[in-house]
A and B are shown apart, each in its own frame.
Chain A
């Protein structure tokens, strides 16, 4: 049973000869956390837009292959300030924007919004003007706005970009709890070191195609480390010319050492 299925998907942006995504086949099921890693421009953001149903519908361009989505998707983009509705004067209204657009009755909206505010630990900000928030607070408001719509597929593009380390840790905890509730999560991040404790599966994108896919141990593989995409610990082991397989995390390394 899959929440999202991409079958041999190739996507071209409008008026571009080279596809941004090539022959992508990927499934994400309920409770899965799949992480996309790759160099800048490898296609992770585009893939998320396709998964969200925004490409090619809103972006234009051409799509070959099939995208099957069993449920409602919500996407959080890396630039929080561009995602404000522009129609809400308070954080509460901002988070309620999505549910209201879905035509839910007032009490359902209240319930979902209050719950989302609590989960993102921003209930104290409920009556603040979104325009007055810091980047980190804004990012949490946007995530809350998407969660309030109760999507079954949550798409996150660099969710920790604007956050400090504590904020980042809170987001990773949230991601795990979302999967625990049965939501499917597909995310792109450059914070590779966080992934071994968060992701179930890693997808390595290079120039629009899947170069490799597998469990988080992929992040300690030679080819990935060579490309600068492995975890710091794996990279260090490799730099020390110690034998493979390289440890993923500090905990792994300590175990290996003993």
Chain B
């Protein structure tokens, strides 16, 4: 996976959900969801299993809501599509280091701000995870019990989610200052530190993927 160009990884992560929605349910959804989850296991089964678990746990609440709102066939169809989206994103976060993505974008001449938007989304996950851990610890030390009744757990969630979001939002200004002072937005063309190599075969494969998506759309509409 790490040998692939970041754009290829992006293309795969975008194509799978696209196919999930384009292809007829439930077969299409099932195929793409399985593929997305299987991808995570490719280089390293143990790390992959963790990725799969995160994906499944994140998708689970959606299945629950769907079940409450729709009948079974619709639930399965939509659930599989959502699972594909979630699994693709989780896989992307695990497989793609943000700095490689930025370097790839920069080498291609894309705007640094756009690159940052992508990179920040991907790298936000471990940062927020670490902070969430610290906040949970602090709240537990104030007597908050994460166990017990539903009301209790909801209260615990609020005591975790609010400070996480508030502190993250509050820091947005400072992050903007820091990036500015380090030259972002200066309009100068950034020197790529280690542009990842892009093989012509991969390039071709990405275009092929795109064409395949378009073909599928046309086929569905016809």
A residues neighboring B (CB under 8 Å): 49, 52, 54, 57-59, 73-75, 77, 79, 81-89, 93, 96-106, 109, 131, 142, 145-146, 149
The chain A residue sitting closest to B115, CB to CB, is A87
What chain B residues lie within 8 Å of A58 (beta carbons)?
176-177, 180
**Stretch of B21-29, B85-93, B96-104, B156-164 that contacts chain A:** B96-104
Known: A86-B120, A87-B116. A100 touches B176 (CB 8 A): no
| Partner pick for B182 among A57, A79, A131, A145, CB 8 A cutoff | A145
Segment 62-114 of B: residues with Cβ below 8 Å from A: 97-99, 102, 112
Which residues of the other chain, A, contact B126 by a CB distance below 8 angstroms? 131
- Chain B residues with Cβ under 8 A from A54's Cβ? 177, 180-181
Give every chain A residue within 8 A of B189 (Cβ-Cβ).
103
CB pair A101 B186 closer than 8 Å: yes
Task: Return A97 CB to nearest CB of chain B, in Å.
Answer: 6
Given contacts A102-B183, A103-B191, A105-B191, 8 further A-B contacts (CB under 8 A): A52-B177, A59-B173, A59-B177, A83-B174, A86-B119, A87-B102, A88-B99, A99-B183
Among residues of A, the one whose C-beta sits closest to the C-beta of B102 is A87
A97 to B179, CA, bound (A): 10
C-alpha spacing A101/B119, complex, angstroms: 15
Once the chains are docked, how many angstroms separate the CA of A131 from the CA of B177? 19
Q: Which residues of A contact B203 (CB under 8 A)?
A: none
Q: Is the CB of B175 within 8 A of A82?
A: yes
Residue B193, interface by CB 8 Å: yes
Decide yes or no whether B190 CB sits under 8 A from chain A: yes
A-B contact pairs, 15 of them (CB 8 A): A49-B177, A73-B181, A74-B182, A81-B127, A85-B179, A85-B182, A86-B98, A93-B193, A98-B183, A100-B192, A100-B193, A101-B186, A102-B186, A131-B126, A145-B182
A57: chain B residues within 8 A (beta carbon): 180
- B193 touches which one: A73, A75, A77, A109 (CB < 8 A)? A109
Pick the contact of B124: A79, A81, A86, A103 (CB < 8 A): A86
Asked if B211 is at the interface of the complex by the 8 Å CB criterion, the answer is: no
Spell out B's residues near A (CB within 8 Å): 97-99, 102, 112, 115-116, 119-120, 123-124, 126-127, 130, 171, 173-184, 186, 188-193
**A86 with B173, Cβ < 8 A, contacts A101-B190, A109-B193 known:** no
User: Which of chain A's residues have a CB closer than 8 A to the CB of B102?
Assistant: 87
Output the residue of A49, A74, A98 with the most chain B CB within 10 A.
Answer: A98
Least Cβ distance of A243 to chain B in Å?
46
Assess the B182–A52 pair: CB atoms within 8 A: no
Question: Which residues of the partner chain B approach A59 to less than 8 Å between Cβ atoms?
Answer: 173, 177
**The 3 residue pairs across chains A and B that have the minimum distance between CB atoms:** A101-B183, A83-B178, A98-B182
